[in-house]
Amino acid sequence: MYTVCVRDHMMIAHSFKGEVFGPAQRLHGATYVVDVEFRRPDIDADGIVVDIGRAGEVLHRIVGEIGYRNLDEVPAFVGRNTTTEFLAKWVFDNMVSAILRDELGPGAQAVESLRVTLHESHVAWASFEGPVRHAS
């Protein structure tokens, strides 16, 4: 399996509901390094997994939708704990949608799976990975 990764970052503010979160129940900030790994069994005729330029642009647009925002005020997230795990899945879903809309070019149609990792720090991170379901 071949893998290519693109990286970006985002800064957000949010709070959590639930005693398990302790002081993180109060409004606080987070800075994430965001990695998206694209996987496919073979490289294309140009010798690539996916167009890295397009992949980076799409990732930048996705994280830009919520960067520098208080996620407690984003309508799609109201009532949700926007944990690192939750946000990894949100980035995954948006990237898969971009692939299916052909925003990463025709080569991305052969991508079988993605892994999205949000690094909270040098010692903690969370990921979500799964298949890209292409139309038959």
The one-letter code for the residue type at 29 is G
Please say if the pLDDT value at position 136 is more than 70: no
Q: For residue 107, what pLDDT band results from cuts at 50, 70 and 90?
A: confident
* Domain contains 92: yes
State percent of the chain over pLDDT 70. Answer: 99
Torsion, Cα 48 2 113 34, to 10 degrees, reads -80
| Structural domain range at position 53 | 2-124
Q: Give the predicted TM-score (pTM) of the model.
A: 0.95
* Domain contains 129: no
Please say if the pLDDT value at position 46 is more than 80: yes
The encoded tokens of residue 33 equal 């390094």
Residue 64's H or E segment, with its range, is helix 52-66
Q: For residue 67, what pLDDT band results from cuts at 50, 70 and 90?
A: very high
* Domain contains 105: yes
SS3 assignment, position 26: coil
Q: What are the tens digits of pLDDT across the range 20-43?
A: 999 999 999 999 999 999 999 999
* Domain contains 135: no
Structural domain total, the chain: 1
Residue with tokens 């298949």: 131
Q: For residue 63, what pLDDT band results from cuts at 50, 70 and 90?
A: very high
Residue 106 confidence (pLDDT): 87
* Domain contains 132: no
Q: For residue 135, what pLDDT band results from cuts at 50, 70 and 90?
A: low
* Domain contains 134: no
Closest CA relative to residue 37, chosen from 8, 62, 67, 5: 5
Residue with tokens 């139309």: 135
Q: List the CATH number of the domain containing 92.
A: 3.30.479.10
> Other CB atoms closer than 10 Å to residue 49's CB: what's the count?
23
Residue 125 confidence (pLDDT): 97
Please give the Cα distance from 34 to 125 (Å, whole number): 10
* Domain contains 87: yes
Please say if the pLDDT value at position 102 is more than 60: yes
Mean model confidence pLDDT for the chain? 95
**Which phi and psi (to 5°) does residue 28 adopt?**
-150, 165
* Domain contains 131: no
- Residues counted in the chain: 136
CB 58 within 8 A of CB 31: no
